[in-house]
Chain A
Amino acid sequence: MNLYTEQVLKRRRRIIAIVTAFFIVMQLLWVFVPVIFAVLWSLVDPDHPWSYPDAFPKSLSLEQWKYVFEYTNILRALATSYTIAPLATLLAFILSLPTAYALGRKKFIGKQIVSNLILLPIILPGMVVALFLSRVFSILGLSQKFMGLVVGHCLMGMPFMLKILTTSFASIPQDIIDAAENLGADTWAKIRHVFIPMVLPGLFAGTIFTFITSLEEFNLTFVIGTPSFETVPTILYSFLGYHFIRTNAAVVSLILMVPNIIMLLIAERMMKTDYLSASLGKM
């Protein structure tokens, strides 16, 4: 390689770095400006309202936070939410795996119908979920039970897990599998060296979506869970719904948002490979 191309490459890398840095700044604005406003609203001093034309609150206090912690069971709800979510995600993964495999790699009659019907949980309007699905749960004795909530959340998140895993299975090129077989790979070796690496990015996406669906699920949880179990959304909706109060809404929003963002950043740090750019070409 001569000096000239090396310089071109160097320049190109620098341009990419600058572009990326620019996007990072844009993204910080795009994401954090709205969040900063929520922080400001959550710190409004009840004695000094934040009104037009003040660009910022005149004085800040922790009153709104104290209020939410004092009069709601937000801490217990956080614990409940973050216990249900991983369990529901795990259950969704276990249940989805075989079905996604069949939908992704097998040919059979009625495949299109099945792959549409698995979308039902997200197609049903929230009101139908609250009125009818909750009845099914209570008839099955799953109402007011921790397991019931896990099953319910799993159900609502499964379309994401199933759809994405199906796509991942479907996009494994048959020649790789054939090649593995020609090399004498047994089933286990095939799973380890072909299926797992190829499905991993999809699995990661599906896991995230199921996890968040669980954290955000409201309609079903409210009917079959409360009063025995409160989750963060069941509390959030009382402040953001019919009786909307800006200051408390800001507090509850932040309580729900911040742990998620921290969790995401930690998870990203821990992921060894950068799955977004993970490529199997190097396999």
Chain B
Amino acid sequence: MKKILAILIIAIVLCAPVFAGGKKEAAAAEKDYTAMTFDQLVEEAKAEGEMVFYTWWGENHWVEAGKEFEAKYGIKTKVIVGDAQANANKVISEGKQASGTIDAMMIGGDYLKPVMDLGLFYPDTYKVLPDYEKLAPNLREYVEGIKNNGELVPLYRNQTGILYNPAKVKNPPQSWDDLVAWIKANPKRFGFNDPSKGGSGQSFIHAAIGEICGGLDKYRGDKELDPAKTANWNLVWDWMNSMEDYWTYTTSNNDSISRVNSGEFWMTIAWDDDTQVNLKKGSLFKDAVLYVPEFGLAGGGDCAGVVKNSENKAAALLFLHFLTTPEQQIKMNERIGSYLARTDAKGKMMLLPEEQRQNNGVAWIPAPYKVEFINQFVKNVLMK
């Protein structure tokens, strides 16, 4: 018994520094970047002399862009390609330190919410970047339904669509009813991923809610979940349960694509940028087609932010500005095929026709509803 007590006491003493460290440490007096002119920002960035950028995919573009940035401004740039979720873990675990090791990072919709809730991004980014107004307006406000208060810089836009094998699908469905009919006519040849594991599966459920529960407009603008508006979602879940024998749930965005490639699926829901990457790497056959059906599928984009406890904020801000210049945006489009975040420039690589993006792309409903449908899907569909 004494031993247990002794262990407990030792353990509590050992915890003391962590508890003490839990309190917010006073940050060093911060420079006001909003008051600087662009030239002053460049000077400041050069004085800092280095910066670290975390991302999770498209390494060829970010690494090259980092080299070009270094060549242009003489600021030592390190690009780390980590796992999306590990990046989020890292920035969260460093959140309470006076200074962290990440200066700027790309963050996807799946991991954005905790990082926003913890207030880990530098809040005035939108006031500092000279070209901020020229970036995709929808992403400046919301990313996958999560409000970002101008703290994030949109780097590219993306869109979910239907990916199919043209050898097997002759008349790709345009309306919701046609899609459902196709799925029923071709059992187990369609699939989408578990929505808690990626955005393309979310997009399908998002569309189903819109089609079955009376449109998506009623959810727009809500900051909190209104239970009255989710009351009839059971219709979606009942329908999905009745369809269980006709489709397959996959485990990630890319899992869906690789099942199209391996012949198991003839049709799936996929992101345009993921499709592009798989086409480029030789892990998806070249004649696979992606399109946005007329009934509409969700789209968005990914953003990057400057981390609040970075010691190289000016350099980080400058790097994000650099990534959103027209030249870099066009290079990004060439290298990884992503659709430009900048609205006043155009890239050459076009997987989806412009009018499909404009006419059939749908914005996500607010985050509280999205979290709710993921949760309800697990409870009412997967668990059944």
Contacts and interface: CB of A to CB of B under 8 A. Distances in A.
Partners in one complex: yes
A238 B81 contact: yes
A49 B286 contact: yes
B83 A242 contact: yes
Q: What secondary structure prevails in chain B residues at the interface with A?
A: helix
Interface stretch (B209-217, B225-233, B276-284): B276-284
A139 B261 contact: no
Nearest to B264: A52
A227 B60 contact: no
A219 B94 CA distance: 14
A110 interface: yes
B52 interface: yes
Contact of A242 (B52, B56, B90, B277): B56
A223 interface: yes
B90 A226 contact: yes
Interface stretch (A14-22, A195-203, A229-237, A265-273): A229-237
Contact of B281 (A53, A57, A226, A248): A248
A71 B83 contact: no
Nearest to B21: A139
Contacts of B86: 130, 218-219, 222-223, 234, 237, 241
A67 B89 contact: no
Contact of A245 (B82, B89, B263, B281): B281
Given A53-B263, A130-B93, A243 B7 contact: no
Interface in A207-249: 218-219, 222-223, 226-228, 230, 234-235, 237-238, 241-248
Contact of A51 (B7, B80, B82, B263): B263
B4 A110 contact: yes
B100 to A, nearest CB: 9
Contact of A238 (B7, B59, B252, B284): B59
B4 A132 contact: no
B261 A49 contact: yes
Interface string B42-76: 00000000001010110110010000000000000
Interface in B270-327: 277-286
A241 B84 contact: yes
A223 B97 contact: no
Contacts of B54: 227
A88 interface: no
Contacts of B258: 246
Contact of A127 (B78, B89, B280, B281): B89
B138 interface: no
A113 B59 CA distance: 47
Interface residues of A, number: 52
Nearest to A235: B81
B92 interface: yes
Q: In this complex, which of B78, B262, B283, B286 has the most chain A Cβ atoms within 10 angstroms of its Cβ?
A: B283
A139 B4 CA distance: 26
Given A46-B280, A47-B282, A71 B89 contact: no
B255 interface: yes
Contacts of B264: 52
Interface string A105-143: 000011001000100000000010011101110111001
B278 A245 contact: yes
Given A51-B263, A117-B7, A243 B282 contact: no
Contact of A243 (B4, B84, B97, B101): B84
Contacts of B262: 51-52
Contact of A144 (B59, B101, B110, B261): B101
Given A227-B52, A238-B56, A241-B84, A247 B90 contact: no
B254 interface: yes
B3 interface: yes
A135 B18 CA distance: 7
A11 interface: no
Contacts of B263: 51-53
Instruction: Tell me which of B4, B83, B258, B285 has the highest count of chain A C-beta atoms within 10 A of its own C-beta.
Output: B83
19 contacts: A44-B281, A64-B281, A70-B60, A71-B60, A72-B59, A109-B2, A130-B89, A132-B93, A226-B82, A226-B90, A227-B102, A237-B86, A238-B82, A242-B110, A243-B83, A244-B255, A246-B258, A246-B281, A246-B283
Interface of A: 44-53, 57, 64, 67, 70-72, 109-110, 113, 117, 127, 130-132, 134-136, 138-140, 143-144, 218-219, 222-223, 226-228, 230, 234-235, 237-238, 241-248
Given A110-B4, A135-B93, 13 more contacts: A44-B283, A50-B283, A110-B7, A113-B4, A127-B89, A134-B90, A135-B96, A139-B21, A227-B101, A227-B102, A238-B56, A238-B83, A245-B278
Interface of B: 2-4, 7, 17-18, 21, 52, 54, 56-57, 59-60, 63, 78, 80-86, 89-90, 92-94, 96-97, 101-102, 110, 252, 254-255, 258, 261-264, 277-286
Q: Which are the 8 A-B pairs with shortest beta-carbon distances?
A: A52-B263, A110-B3, A241-B83, A51-B285, A242-B84, A243-B57, A237-B83, A46-B282
